[in-house]
Homo-oligomer: A and B are copies of this chain.
C-alpha cells in the first residue's frame, strides 16, 4: 500500500539522517574505522589487550599512595589512579590535596615507574597538571563542563572522560567530540554507572554501553567498577562482565586502609583484596585469550 511505502521512505530517511550526523563526528567509527590507541607508559590502550587502572579514591599522603603503588607495581600493572582535586557533594567534605596531591603522584610515578591518572576539575588547572600527571581525568560531574573539555582538547596529553551521572550515550559521545574537535584525539571513554531508581547499588552499571561505544566510536572504553556499584562485593563480578563484554580496561579503587579513607571508604579494596581481585581477573583473562 501507499502508506507502507511512505513508512519505508520515512524510516530510510530517519536512518540516513542519524547516520549523517554520526558520520560527521571526529570520534565516530564511521569517520575512522580502526581503533584509536592511546599510549600511556608503554601500555597501548585500545590495542585489544585489557588494562587496569587502580589506586586510591583520593591522594591523602605520600605513604598512602606509595603503599598502593607498590602493590600495583607488584601486580605488573602500569597505571595508577588517585584524586588530587575531589569534587564532593558537600563543601565541607574533604576536597583533596590539590597541587600537593599532584606532586605526590608525580613523585610516586617516578619512584615506581608508573603512569598516573588524576582528575582535573577546572580549565585553569590543566596547564599545571601537564607537569605532574600522565592522563587527565574528566569526572562524571564535569562531563558537560564544556570549557573544561575544550581546555583538555587543546593540550597534548591523554584524557580519560567519564560518563556523566545521567548522561545519555549520545551526550557522552558528543562530550568526547568537544575534546577531539580541539585537536586532542587521545581519549579514553569510561562507563561509571548511571543514576536510576535502583538503590541496591550506588549507580546502575550500564554494561551494554560498552559495545555501543565501541561500535559508535573508535575510542577505547573502560569500566569503573567502583563508582558504578559502590559495593566492594560487586567489584570482581562486574569486572569480569566488563572484560567479557569487551571493555579495554577496568578501573577500581584501592586503599591501604579503606576504613580510615577520607572518601568512599565503603567501596575501596584493601591491598589483600586488591591482590585477590587481580589474581582472579588475570586467570579470567588467560581463559578468554586461550580460547
How far, in whole Å, are A88 and B170 apart by their CA atoms in the complex? 13
Q: Does A234 contact B (CB under 8 A)?
A: yes
Task: Give a binary string over A157-181; 1 marks a CB under 8 Å from any B CB, 0 the rest.
Answer: 0000000111011110010011001
Contact A17 B13, beta carbon cutoff 8 Å: no
Looking at chain A's contact residues, the main secondary structure is helix
Q: In chain A between 219 and 245, which residues have their CB closer than 8 angstroms to a CB of chain B?
A: 228-229, 233-234, 237-238, 240-245
Q: Pick from B88, B181, B208: contact of A91, CB below 8 A.
A: B181
Q: How many copies does the complex hold?
A: 4
Interface residues on A, range: 35 or more
Cα(A124)–Cα(B17), bound, Å:
38
A110 at the interface (CB under 8 A from B): no
A145-B146 contact given A290-B287, A291-B287, CB 8 Å threshold: no
C-alpha gap A247/B95 in the complex (Å): 33
Q: Which of B121, B210, B228, B233 contacts A147 (CB 8 A)?
A: B121
Which of B141, B237, B246 touches A145 (beta carbons < 8 Å)? B141
List 5 interface pairs A-B (beta carbons < 8 Å), by A numbering.
A6-B13, A168-B197, A200-B209, A237-B246, A244-B244
Binding site for B on A (CB under 8 A): 6-7, 9-10, 13-14, 17, 24, 87-92, 121-124, 141-142, 144-148, 150, 164-166, 168-171, 174, 177-178, 181, 194-201, 204-212, 215, 228-229, 233-234, 237-238, 240-246, 283-284, 286-288, 290-291
